[in-house]
Structure 1
Amino acid sequence: MTTTEPMLERALYGGVNAAVLTPMGPDLAPDVPLMASHCRWLLENGCDGLGILGTTGEATSFSVAERIAVMEGLVAAGIPAEKLMPGTGCAALTDSVELTKAAKRLGCPGVLMLPPFYYKNPSDDGLFAWFSEVINRVGGGVKVYLYHFPQQSAVPFSLELIGRLLAAFPGVIKGVKDSSGDYGNMKAMIDAFAAQGFEVYSGSDEFLSRILHDGGAGSITAAANVNCAAAAAVVRAFRAGDRAAEEAAQAVLTATRRIATSVPLIAGLREIVARRTGNPAWRRIRPPNLPLAAEKVGPFLAAFDATGIGGLAHAA
Structure 2
Amino acid sequence: MSKSMWQGVIPALTTPFAADGEVDHAFLAKHAKWQIEAGCIGVVPLGSLGESATLSFDEKVAIVRTLVKALGDTAPVIPGIGSLSTDEAVRLAKACEAEGARGLMVLPPYAYSTDWKEMSAHFRAIATATKLPILLYNNPIAYKTDFTAAQIAELANDLPQIEAIKESSGDIRRLADIQALIGDRLVLMTGIDDAIVEGLAMGVTGWIAGQVNAFPHESVALFERARDGGYDAVKDLYSWFLPLLRLDTVPKFVQLIKLTQQCVDWGDERVRAPRLVVEGAERDAALKVIEDAIKSRPEL
Superposition TM-score, scaled by structure 1 size: 0.84
Task: Count matched residues.
Answer: 298
Q: Which residue of 2 aligns with 1:193?
A: 182
Output the amino acid matched with 2:171: D
Aligned mates of 2:240, 2:246 — CA distance in 1:
10
Larger CA deviation: 40-49 vs 297-306: 297-306
Deviations 1:257-293 (A, max 9, x none): 12555782111221221232276xx122110011121
Alignment partner of 1:143 out of 113, 133, 152: 133
Larger CA deviation: 242-251 vs 102-111: 242-251
Aligned mates of 1:277, 1:114 — CA distance in 2:
31
Is 2:105 the counterpart of 1:94?
no
Match runs of 1:224-239 below 5 Å = 224-238=212-226
CA contact (8 A) 1:100 1:111 kept: yes
Aligned mates of 2:249, 2:148 — CA distance in 1:
27
Alignment partner of 2:275 out of 277, 281, 289: 289
**Distance apart, 1:55 and its partner CA:** 0.3
Do the aligned partners of residues 262 and 96 (structure 1) sit closer, same or farther apart at CA in structure 2, a change above 3 Å counting?
closer
Output the amino acid matched with 2:49: T
**Distance apart, 1:215 and its partner CA:** 1.8
Deviations 1:224-261 (A, max 9, x none): 21233332112332455375332222223323212555
CA contact (8 A) 1:46 1:232 kept: yes
Structural RMSD (CA): 2.5
Aligned mates of 1:11, 1:287 — CA distance in 2:
37
CA contact (8 A) 1:227 1:256 kept: no
- Give secondary structure in 2 for the equivalent of 1:22: coil
Aligned mates of 1:66, 1:187 — CA distance in 2:
38
CA contact (8 A) 1:113 1:146 kept: yes
Aligned residues: percent identity?
Answer: 23
Output the amino acid matched with 1:84: V
**Distance apart, 1:87 and its partner CA:** 0.4
Is 2:259 the counterpart of 1:267?
no
Deviations 1:174-219 (A, max 9, x none): 11212222212233224433421x0121111222223223221221
Do the aligned partners of residues 68 and 278 (structure 1) sit closer, same or farther apart at CA in structure 2, a change above 3 Å counting?
closer
- Give secondary structure in 1 for the equivalent of 2:260: helix
Match runs of 1:115-154 below 5 Å = 115-122=108-115, 124-138=116-130, 140=131, 142-154=132-144
Q: Which residue of 2 aligns with 1:3?
A: none
Deviations 1:129-184 (A, max 9, x none): 2222222232x2x11111111122111112222122112112x1111212222212
Do the aligned partners of residues 44 and 294 (structure 1) sit closer, same or farther apart at CA in structure 2, a change above 3 Å counting?
farther
Unaligned runs of 5+ in 2: none
Q: Which residue of 2 aligns with 1:182?
A: 171
Do the aligned partners of residues 299 and 130 (structure 1) sit closer, same or farther apart at CA in structure 2, a change above 3 Å counting?
closer
CA contact (8 A) 1:23 1:284 kept: yes
Is 2:22 the counterpart of 1:38?
no
Match runs of 1:60-79 below 5 Å = 60-78=53-71
Q: Which residue of 2 aligns with 1:300?
A: 286
Do the aligned partners of residues 169 and 269 (structure 1) sit closer, same or farther apart at CA in structure 2, a change above 3 Å counting?
same
Aligned mates of 2:44, 2:78 — CA distance in 1:
5
CA contact (8 A) 1:23 1:30 kept: yes
Q: Which residue of 2 aligns with 1:311?
A: 298
CA contact (8 A) 2:190 2:199 kept: yes
CA contact (8 A) 1:81 1:107 kept: no
Alignment partner of 1:11 out of 4, 28, 43: 4
Do the aligned partners of residues 218 and 76 (structure 1) sit closer, same or farther apart at CA in structure 2, a change above 3 Å counting?
closer
Deviations 1:109-144 (A, max 9, x none): 31111112333322x222222222222232x2x111
CA contact (8 A) 2:105 2:137 kept: yes
CA contact (8 A) 1:82 1:109 kept: no
Superposition TM-score, scaled by structure 2 size: 0.88
